[in-house]
Amino acid sequence: MLSDRRVHATIPTADLAQARSFYEGVLGLIPARLLPSAVLYGAGEGSLFAVSASSGQASGTHTQMAFATPDIKAEVAELKARGITFEEYDLPALKTINGIASMGPNQAAWFKDPEGNLFGLIEFADGG
């Protein structure tokens, strides 16, 4: 059944070449598999995600995928050095300081790719 199957996120892009430039050149990801209309990228612990040619557009209003990190401050600093701009929020339930929000015992940060897909970083307090 589905509970036994590996899953992966699929991120839409109108321009696969531009997306590859961002994911590989800026984020430093390495393609795991090249397909005619998609690129699969490997991430930690055997996870994968696809960037796929699509006519759909990102809304940028919700996190489409998140990367768990053991040190969010270091990760945010490294990505800022690579040119990433982090989202800043000042809402009653969500406030960022230097791009990082405290969410209970956890910390999180968000950035967008060139097409407006919203990605998160999360540092779980329990290390998970």
Q: Does the residue 128 lie in any domain?
A: no
Q: Does the residue 25 lie in any domain?
A: yes
Q: Which domain holds residue 27?
A: 2-123
What pLDDT score does 7 carry? 86
Q: Does the residue 12 lie in any domain?
A: yes
The single-letter DSSP state of residue 95 is B
Domain count, the chain: 1
* pLDDT tens by residue, 64-98: 999 999 999 999 999 999 999 999 999 999 999 99
Q: Does the residue 63 lie in any domain?
A: yes
CATH number of the domain to which 51 belongs:
3.10.180.10
Q: 70-95: buried (b, 16+ CB within 10 Å) or exposed (e) per residue?
A: eebeebbeebeeeebebeeeeeeeee
Q: Does the residue 117 lie in any domain?
A: yes
* pLDDT tens by residue, 4-30: 888 899 999 999 999 999 999 999 999
Q: Does the residue 71 lie in any domain?
A: yes
Q: Does the residue 62 lie in any domain?
A: yes
